[in-house]
Structure 1
Amino acid sequence: MKSVLISAGICLLLCSGPLLAQSAVSDAAAVLPLQNPQWRGPTDNWHAPRTREQWWQAFGSSELVALLADARAANPGVLAARAAVDEARAAVAQNDSKVWPQLSLTGSAQRAAGETTRSLGPALSYQSDLWGAVSAQRRAAQARLDAANASLDAVALKLDGTLARQYFQLLLLDQQQILSGRKLALMMRRLEILRHQLQLGAVASRDEAELVQAISQQQSTLGGLRLSSQQAYNALAVLCGKAPQDFRPQGSPLATLQLPYPSETLPGALLLRRPDIRAADATLAALQGDVTAAHAALYPALTLSWQGLFSSAAGGPLQWVNTAAATLAAPLFDGGKLRAGLALSEAQYQAQLQNWRSTVLTALQEADDALHGLATSQQQWRQQQSRVDAAQRVAQIDEQRYRLGALDRASLLAAQEDALTAELDSLAAHHSALAASVTLYQALGGAAES
C-alpha cells in the first residue's frame, strides 16, 4: 500500500508540469486531469464510478447499517446536496434546449384611422453554433451535474464516517460506564476493609485518605462519562436527522465489532474513487467549457429566423405572408466586457486547476496518514490485549492465594481493580482502532474491504 501511494505521488509530480503549461482557451488543447491516461491507467469512463460500496457492513453491526440508512434518508446535509443535484440537472436540461429551434406564436391587432389590421402566425428562430459556444455550455452544465453528484457522494461519505465514529464513541462510553462502575464498587469495598484495619491500627490514616481521594476521582470520572454519553447520544440523533427525544439506538458491546482492513487501491482507482477529487475534476471541466464559450462570444453570431403570418387589413381577405432572414451580429465595441469575461474564465480555470492539484495531494496525504494510523492503532490494541491477559492472570492467581489464606482481601480487590483498569485501556485502544479503520475507508473514498 505504501508503494502504491508513493507511485501516485510520483505520477502527480510528472503530470503537474504539462497540465500547468496547457492553455485554458481551447478544448482541444487542454486535457482534463482524470482523462489523462498517465493518471488513470486502463479504466473506463471517468464519470461512471460512484462510491456506493457499503464498507460499513464490514464492521459486523446491523444497527450501524440501519443508522446509516436512516441518516442518508433524513440528514439535512445530504438532502441539501441532493437538491443541488436536482438544480444542476435542471440546468443541463435548460442548456440542452439551446440546440433546438425556438418556435412561437405571435399575434397582433392594430386600429388606425378607423381601420383594423390583424395578424396571427408562427415564428421560428435558430441561433447557429458556429464557434461551439452552445456545445461548450452544454458540456459545462453536464460537468457541473457530475460535480454535484460527486459532491453528494462526498457529503454522504463524510456523514458515513462521522456517524460510524460517533456510534463507536457511544458504545465505548456505555461500556466505560459499566466497567468504571464495577471499579468504583471494588474501591468502596476496599475502603470498608481499610477502615476496619485502621480501627485495629493495622494501617496508617494516610492510606485511607489516599483511597478516599481515588474514590472521589473515580466518581467524578463516572459522572463525566455519563455526560459525554448523553452528548454523544444527542449528536448521533442529529446526524440521523432526528430529535434526541425520538431516537432509540439499542447499542451492542464494542468487542463484538469486527476490525476490517480496506483492500489496497491503485493510484488511478484512488483518484476515481475519491468523490472530492471527482468533484474537483468535474468542476475543472465545467470551467473549461466556460472558457470556450467566452472565447466564442468574441466572434459574430448567426441567427436564422422565419415567420409566417395570416394578415387582414380593413376587413379585407386573409393573406399569408412569409418572412425569412439571416442575421449576423458581431460585437464592435463593448468597453472590453467580452475580453474581460474571457480573462475571468481563464483565471477561474487556472485557479481550479491548482485547487484540483491540492485536492489530489491532500487525498494522497490522508490515505498515507490513515494507513499508518490504522497500523499503529492495531499494534497498540494488541499490546493492551496482552496487558489485559496479564492483569487477569494476576487477579486469578491472587484469588487463589486469597482462598488459601496467603493474601488479604484488600490486596485481592486491588488486583481486580488493576484488571479493570487494563480492560478500560484495552477498550479505548479497540475504539481507536475502529475509528482509524473508518478514517482509512474515508481516505480511500469508501474502498471495499478485502
Structure 2
Amino acid sequence: MLARKPDLLRPCAAGAALMLAAALSGCSLAPRYERPPSPVAATYPAPPAGVPAMPAEADRAAPDIGWREFFRDPRLQALIAAALGNNRDLRIAALRIEEARALYQVQRADLLPRLDATAGATRQRVSAAQPLSGQSGIRQAYQAGGAIASYELDFFGRVRSLSDAALAQYAATEEARRAAQLSLVAEVATAYLAERSFAEQSDIARATLEARQRALALSQRRFAAGTASALDVQDNASLEAQARVASAELARQRAQAQNALEVLTGTPLDAMAGLPDALALSEQGVMTELPAGLPSELLTQRPDIRQAEQELQSANAVIGAARAAFFPRITLTATAGSISPTLASLFEAGTGTWLFSPQLVLPVFDAGRNRAGLDLAQTRKQIQVAAYERAVQAAFRDVADALAARGTLQEQVAAQQAVRNAEAARVRLAGQRWRNGVTGQLESLDAQRQLLAAEQALVQARERRLANAIALYRALGGGLLEHGTGIASGGQ
C-alpha cells in the first residue's frame, strides 16, 4: 500500500494546479459596454394643428395591458389564442430559442475542463531486430484512467468572451420570439378587422343590390304602363349593374381576407369548434386611448429594441475574443491511471501512471490574421450599433405615426357618421319628392349612390381607427401578456 502513495499524490498535485489556474483565469479584454445614445427626440411630436391632445383612459402602460383586456371581441380573442398555438412563424421563433440555448451551453462548456474516462489495450509483435527490443515476442498492455485533454487556461478571457457572446445571442433570440408574438397578435387583429370591414361592406352592397333590383323591376313595369321613360329604366339598370359589381368585388376581398386570417391562425376557421359570433366594428370596444409615455421607455418596452441591444452586446463580447488572440494561449493536458501487462494486475500497487503536459502558444507571424479578425469584430459591432439605432428610430416613428393619426381618425369617424346621416336623410327626401312628382327619379337615384358611398366610407373609417389603435398598442410593446394581471401567453 505504501508503494502507491507517490502515484496518487502526484495526480492530486496536478489537479490542484489545474484548479488554481482555472481560478486565476477569466479576465476579459472586451470593451466596456455602453448603450448608444438615443437617436430620437426626447418627446413625441405634438398632434396636428386643430386636433386636441387625447387624454389617456388607461392608467397602465401598454405592455401591462393583456391582449384579452385590450380586445373585447370574444371571436377575436379565440382567433388570437389559436394563432399563438398554431402559427408556424411563432413556432419557428420558439425553436430558434432552443437552438440558441444549445449553442450557448456548448460554448459555456469550454470554460471548464473536460474529464474523460479512458480504457484500452494494446497487443504488439516485437522483432529482435528492432532497436531496443532485446528479444522478439508478443507484448501486450492494459491501461485505464482519466484524462483532461487540451484545456485552455482562459487568462485573457477569450473563451469567456465567446461564452458571453453566445449568451447575448441566446437572449436576443428570446427577444426575437417576443417581438414575433407582438407582431402576430397585431397582425391577427388587423386581419380580423379587415375581414369584418369587407363583411359589413359586402352586406351593405348586397342590400343595395336587392333594393336596386326591386327598383329596376318597378321601373320596367312603369315603363310598360307608360308612366316612366326608357331613360329611367336605363338609369336603374346601370345602378343595378354597379351594385352587382361592388357586391362581387367585396365578396372576393372578404374571402381573401379570411384566407389571410386562416394562415395567421394556422387552422381553417370552419374547423374551429365553438367560435363565437363576430361583433360589428362599432361594437369592438378596443382601447383606442393609451398613454404613450416617453420615447426612452421604448428601450425596455419593445422586444425588437432589446433584441438589437443584445446583438450589440454579443458583438461587443466578440471583440474581447479577437483581442485575446494576440496573447499567448496556454493549454493543459493531463492523464492519470494505471498500466499493466496483464488485465488481472491492472489496479495493483506500482501500476499507477500520470502525465501532466502544459503547452504555451505565442503568436509570432500569422500574416495579419489576428489583426483582420479584430477589425472584423469591430466593424460588426459598428453594424450592430447602426442596427440598434435603426430599431429605436423605427419604434419612435411607429408611435409618432399612431399618435398623429389617433385624433384625426376619431374626428374622421365622427364626421363620416354625420355625412352618412345626412345622405340617409337626403335619400328619404329625394324619394318623397319623386313619389310626389316634384322631381324626376334621377335625383333619388343620385342620392342612393351617395348614401352607399357614405356607408362604405364610414365602415372603412371605423376600421382605420381600430387598426390605428392596434398599431399604437403594438408600437408601445403591448401584446405579450394574455391578461392584465401579469399572466403571460405563449408559455411565458
Are 2:159 and 2:321, in contact at CA under 8 Å, matched by a contact in 1? Answer: yes
Tell me the amino acid that sits aligned with residue 459 of structure 2.
Answer: L
Are 1:75 and 1:241, in contact at CA under 8 Å, matched by a contact in 2? Answer: yes
Distance between the aligned counterparts of 1:400 and 1:218, measured in 2?
Answer: 23
Query: Displacement, 1:348?
Result: 0.9
Show CA shifts across 1:245-279 (max 9, x none). 63575433222112422221222211221222111
Alignment of 1:75-86 (within 5 A): 75-86=87-98
Equivalent in 167, 181, 186 of residue 206 of structure 2: 181
Query: Displacement, 1:407?
Result: 7.4
Are 2:406 and 2:468, in contact at CA under 8 Å, matched by a contact in 1? Answer: yes
Asked if residue 351 in structure 1 is aligned to residue 383 in structure 2, the reply is: yes
> Paired residue for 1:118?
142
> Paired residue for 1:6?
none
Asked if residue 127 in structure 1 is aligned to residue 152 in structure 2, the reply is: yes
Asked if residue 228 in structure 1 is aligned to residue 253 in structure 2, the reply is: yes
Query: Displacement, 1:353?
Result: 1.0
Distance between the aligned counterparts of 1:291 and 1:400, measured in 2?
Answer: 82
Asked if residue 443 in structure 1 is aligned to residue 475 in structure 2, the reply is: yes
Tell me the amino acid that sits aligned with residue 89 of structure 1.
Answer: R
Equivalent in 139, 158, 164 of residue 164 of structure 2: 139
> Paired residue for 1:170?
195
Tell me the amino acid that sits aligned with residue 309 of structure 1.
Answer: G
Q: Which runs of 5+ in 2 are unaligned?
A: 1-27, 43-60, 127-137, 485-492
Tell me the amino acid that sits aligned with residue 33 of structure 1.
Answer: P
Asked if residue 270 in structure 1 is aligned to residue 298 in structure 2, the reply is: yes
Q: CA distance change for structure 1 residues 161 and 303 in 2, over 3 Å: closer, same or farther?
A: same
Query: Displacement, 1:158?
Result: 1.5
Secondary structure at the aligned position of 1:299 is classed as: coil
Tell me the amino acid that sits aligned with residue 98 of structure 1.
Answer: D
Q: CA distance change for structure 1 residues 381 and 26 in 2, over 3 Å: closer, same or farther?
A: farther
Could you state the TM-score of these two structures normalised by the residue count of structure 2?
0.75
Query: Displacement, 1:383?
Result: 0.6
Q: CA distance change for structure 1 residues 395 and 214 in 2, over 3 Å: closer, same or farther?
A: closer
Alignment of 1:304-323 (within 5 A): 304-313=332-341, 318=348, 319-323=351-355
> Paired residue for 1:45?
none
> Paired residue for 2:77?
65
Alignment of 1:13-162 (within 5 A): 27-33=30-36, 53-55=65-67, 57-112=69-124, 113=126, 114-125=138-149, 126-162=151-187
Show CA shifts across 1:143-190 (max 9, x none). 101110111112112211211111011111111121112212222233
Asked if residue 254 in structure 1 is aligned to residue 276 in structure 2, the reply is: no
Secondary structure at the aligned position of 1:292 is classed as: helix
Show CA shifts across 1:24-72 (max 9, x none). x953444133899x99xxxxxxxxx996742463231111111111101
> Paired residue for 1:18?
none
Are 1:50 and 1:153, in contact at CA under 8 Å, matched by a contact in 2? Answer: no
- Percent of aligned positions with the same letter in both sequences? 27
Equivalent in 250, 255, 266 of residue 241 of structure 1: 266
> Paired residue for 1:324?
356
Q: CA distance change for structure 1 residues 336 and 213 in 2, over 3 Å: closer, same or farther?
A: same
Distance between the aligned counterparts of 2:90 and 2:62, measured in 1?
Answer: 16
Secondary structure at the aligned position of 1:331 is classed as: coil
**How many pairs were matched up?**
414
Query: Displacement, 1:324?
Result: 2.3
Show CA shifts across 1:65-100 (max 9, x none). 111111011111000000101111112222222222
Are 2:29 and 2:156, in contact at CA under 8 Å, matched by a contact in 1? Answer: no
Equivalent in 324, 344, 349 of residue 296 of structure 1: 324
Equivalent in 217, 239, 257 of residue 192 of structure 1: 217
Secondary structure at the aligned position of 1:33 is classed as: coil
Q: CA distance change for structure 1 residues 51 and 105 in 2, over 3 Å: closer, same or farther?
A: farther
Distance between the aligned counterparts of 1:76 and 1:84, measured in 2?
Answer: 12
Secondary structure at the aligned position of 2:116 is classed as: strand
Q: CA distance change for structure 1 residues 28 and 345 in 2, over 3 Å: closer, same or farther?
A: closer
Bigger Rg, structure 1 or 2:
2
Q: CA distance change for structure 1 residues 408 and 163 in 2, over 3 Å: closer, same or farther?
A: same
Distance between the aligned counterparts of 1:386 and 1:67, measured in 2?
Answer: 33
Alignment of 1:370-381 (within 5 A): 370-381=402-413
Tell me the amino acid that sits aligned with residue 341 of structure 2.
Answer: A
Secondary structure at the aligned position of 2:360 is classed as: strand
Could you state the TM-score of these two structures normalised by the residue count of structure 1?
0.82
Q: CA distance change for structure 1 residues 52 and 341 in 2, over 3 Å: closer, same or farther?
A: farther
Asked if residue 429 in structure 1 is aligned to residue 429 in structure 2, the reply is: no
Distance between the aligned counterparts of 1:384 and 1:207, measured in 2?
Answer: 30
Q: CA distance change for structure 1 residues 298 and 224 in 2, over 3 Å: closer, same or farther?
A: same
Distance between the aligned counterparts of 1:399 and 1:206, measured in 2?
Answer: 18
Distance between the aligned counterparts of 2:299 and 2:381, measured in 1?
Answer: 20
Are 2:123 and 2:139, in contact at CA under 8 Å, matched by a contact in 1? Answer: yes
Show CA shifts across 1:303-337 (max 9, x none). 23332120113787741112223322222333332
Q: CA distance change for structure 1 residues 50 and 170 in 2, over 3 Å: closer, same or farther?
A: closer
Secondary structure at the aligned position of 2:143 is classed as: strand
| CA root-mean-square deviation | 3.2
Asked if residue 218 in structure 1 is aligned to residue 243 in structure 2, the reply is: yes
Are 1:388 and 1:419, in contact at CA under 8 Å, matched by a contact in 2? Answer: yes
Q: CA distance change for structure 1 residues 375 and 27 in 2, over 3 Å: closer, same or farther?
A: farther
Distance between the aligned counterparts of 2:375 and 2:195, measured in 1?
Answer: 53
Q: Which runs of 5+ in 1 are unaligned?
A: 1-24, 40-48
> Paired residue for 2:12?
none
Query: Displacement, 1:280?
Result: 0.9
